[in-house]
């Protein structure tokens, strides 16, 4: 009897542990996703076919597509407030007059990909139908629409610290017959970075990047502390960009882009692309930074402590480095005040004694030697790509 009970219990433990062992092996997200999302640009008002198609056209005319920006993602508020009589999600006929498939077809015809948003609970955060207990139905619907990216939110649940329903949707997507990038949006709850790689292609690590320097700095500091969890197929998602949304200085926009790029976060632009300023456009089109973000090694940079520098705390720390397939990236950020920051290569993980050549990504300056230094205004950043001479 006791033996039987032990056997049954161990069987249950194996069954309970099993879903986490199964990776979503869809071959996607080998490097962080690059694209645009409607939410920061205009919340519910931007969840329309017209905005999606406009963004796709602007990816091409602004030269973003050529740099690798691919995903055009519509966030919350795209559906009607209730399912149809057969229990299926229905696109809002005002916002998507020709349905979703027509939009994804047009976006695919431009060589881009299309994404949508849902929620693992009973409703999305804005009160549209969630997928709880409809996972298979919804995954099949997405497949029939050829949706390439599915962001899955965490509102209206009985337990926001649970991963069960994220696994249910993973399995439903895996069986749907169409390959979809699976983006977990549980705001860093439940230590998602420890299991996200077995469930999705990216996972949000914090609450939203609401539009201020403080959020940018706090999210980046968090990203540094869990950098080791990101890699090809599954990356820490630092949340959508707030560049060109009116609250960050030019220096802060550079640091926002620089930190997200070296931290190997997805870069999902969040501005109204019809209104992007020239200076913001130059920042998000920085090819050197995008190349670093998309480096095949897929290893997020994190902070390091040069000799003589104050110890890191939970706040944004100025000194960053990470490996690239052909060298090392060094980031210097003026976290607290205008400052000149310098590092000797002997202090940088992955470098050491000897002479190295470097290129700085914002100024294009190049040089070689045993150290780098940058004179930075408040919250500005310099990013050096460093190689052995
Ligand atoms: C939040 C999510 C945001 C956005 C919003 C939509 O939970 O973190 O990125 O998707 O919901 O309602």
> For residue range 287-329, what is the model confidence (pLDDT) as tens digits?
999 999 999 999 999 999 999 999 999 999 999 999 999 999 9
Q: Which residues line ligand 1 (CB under 6 A)?
A: 39, 75-76, 117, 124-126, 153, 155, 185, 187, 208
Mean pLDDT of 184-206: 97
> For residue range 364-377, what is the model confidence (pLDDT) as tens digits?
999 999 999 999 99
Give residues with Cβ within 8 angstroms of 287, minimum separation 6: 67
pLDDT, averaged across the chain:
95
Quote the DSSP letter at residue 310: P
Residue 48 has pLDDT above 90, yes or no: yes
Residue 282 has pLDDT above 60, yes or no: yes
Host H or E run for residue 329:
strand 327-333
Q: Where does 76-163 show beta strands of DSSP type E?
A: 113-119, 149-153
Mean pLDDT of 52-70: 99
Mean pLDDT of 145-167: 97
Mean pLDDT of 106-114: 99
Please report the DSSP string for 195-260 in residue order: TGGGT-SEEE-SS---SSHHHHHHHHHHHHHTGGG-BTTBEEE-----TTSSSS-HHHHHHHHHHH
Domains (ranges, CATH) in the chain? 23-293 (3.20.20.70), 302-388 (2.60.40.1180)
User: Taking the CB of residue 44, how many other CB atoms lie within 10 A of it?
Assistant: 17
For residue 314, what pLDDT is reported?
Answer: 93
For residue 42, what pLDDT is reported?
Answer: 98
Confidence of residue 21 (pLDDT cuts 50, 70, 90): low
The 3-class SS string of 33-96 reads CEEEEHHHHHHHHHCCHHHHHHHHHHHHHCCHHHHCCCEEECCCCCECCCCCCCCCCCECCCCC
Q: How far is the CA of 268 from the centre of ligand 1 (A)?
A: 13
For residue 362, what pLDDT is reported?
Answer: 98
Confidence of residue 24 (pLDDT cuts 50, 70, 90): confident
Mean pLDDT of 34-38: 99
Choose the catalytic residue: 105, 171, 208, 291: 208
> For residue range 218-251, what is the model confidence (pLDDT) as tens digits?
999 999 999 999 999 999 999 999 999 999 999 9
Long-range contacts of 278-285 (CB under 8 A, 24+ apart): 279/250, 279/253, 280/243, 280/244, 280/253, 281/62, 281/244, 283/243, 283/250, 283/253, 283/254, 283/257, 284/64, 284/241, 284/243, 284/244, 284/257, 285/62, 285/63, 285/64, 285/67
Residue 72 has pLDDT above 80, yes or no: yes
Choose the catalytic residue: 57, 153, 237, 295: 153
Share of the chain above pLDDT 90, in %: 93
Q: How far is the CA of 92 from the centre of ligand 1 (A)?
A: 19
Among 74, 125, 215, residue to substitute to test ligand 1 (most atoms within 8 Å of Cβ): 125
Tracing tokens 């519509």 back to the chain, one arrives at: 74
Residue 9 has pLDDT above 90, yes or no: no
Residue pair 318/301 in contact (Cβ under 8 Å)? The answer is: no
Active-site residue, 76 included: no
Mean pLDDT of 156-181: 96
Residue nearest to atom 12 of ligand 1 (CA): 125
pTM for the complete prediction? 0.94
Residue nearest to atom 11 of ligand 1 (CA): 125
Residue 120 has pLDDT above 50, yes or no: yes
Residue 202 has pLDDT above 90, yes or no: yes
Mean pLDDT of 75-93: 98
Active-site residue, 153 included: yes
For residue 22, what pLDDT is reported?
Answer: 59
Residue nearest to atom 6 of ligand 1 (CA): 76
């Amino acid at each position: 009897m006791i033996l039987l009970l032990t056997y049954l219990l161990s069987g249950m433990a194996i069954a309970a542990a099993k879903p986490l062992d199964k990776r979503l092996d869809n071959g996607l997200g080998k490097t962080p996703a690059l694209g645009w999302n409607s939410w920061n640009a205009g919340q519910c008002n931007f969840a329309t076919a017209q905005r999606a198609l406009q963004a796709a056209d602007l990816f091409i005319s602004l030269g973003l597509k050529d740099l690798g920006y691919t995903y055009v993602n519509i966030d919350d508020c795209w559906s009607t407030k209730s399912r149809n009589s057969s229990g299926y999600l229905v696109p809002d006929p005002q916002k998507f007059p020709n349905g979703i498939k027509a939009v994804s077809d047009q976006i695919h015809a431009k060589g881009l990909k299309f994404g949508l948003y849902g929620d693992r609970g009973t409703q999305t955060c804005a009160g549209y139908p969630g997928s709880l207990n409809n996972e298979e139905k919804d995954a099949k619907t997405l497949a029939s629409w050829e949706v390439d990216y599915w962001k899955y939110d965490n509102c209206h649940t009985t337990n926001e610290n649970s991963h069960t329903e994220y696994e249910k949707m993973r399995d439903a997507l895996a069986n749907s017959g169409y390959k979809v990038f699976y983006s977990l949006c549980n705001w860093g709850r439940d230590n998602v970075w420890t299991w996200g790689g077995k469930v999705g292609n990216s996972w949000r690590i914090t609450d939203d990047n609401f539009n201020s320097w403080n959020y940018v700095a706090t999210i980046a500091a968090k990203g540094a502390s869990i950098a080791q969890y990101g890699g090809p197929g599954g990356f820490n998602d630092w949340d959508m960009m707030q560049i060109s949304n009116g609250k960050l200085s030019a220096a802060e926009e550079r640091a926002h882009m620089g930190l997200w790029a070296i931290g190997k976060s997805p870069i999902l632009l969040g501005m109204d692309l019809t209104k992007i300023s020239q200076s913001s456009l130059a920042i998000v089109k920085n090819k050197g930074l995008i190349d670093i973000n998309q480096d095949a090694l897929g290893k997020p940079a994190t902070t390091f402590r040069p000799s003589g520098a104050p110890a890191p705390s939970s706040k944004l720390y100025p000194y960053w480095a990470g490996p690239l397939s052909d060298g090392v990236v060094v980031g210097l950020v003026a976290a607290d005040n205008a400052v000149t920051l310098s590092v000797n290569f002997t202090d940088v993980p992955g470098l050491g004694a000897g002479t190295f050549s470097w290129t700085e990504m914002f100024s294009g300056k190049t040089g070689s030697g045993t150290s780098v230094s940058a004179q930075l205004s408040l919250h500005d950043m310099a990013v050096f790509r460093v190689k052995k001479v």
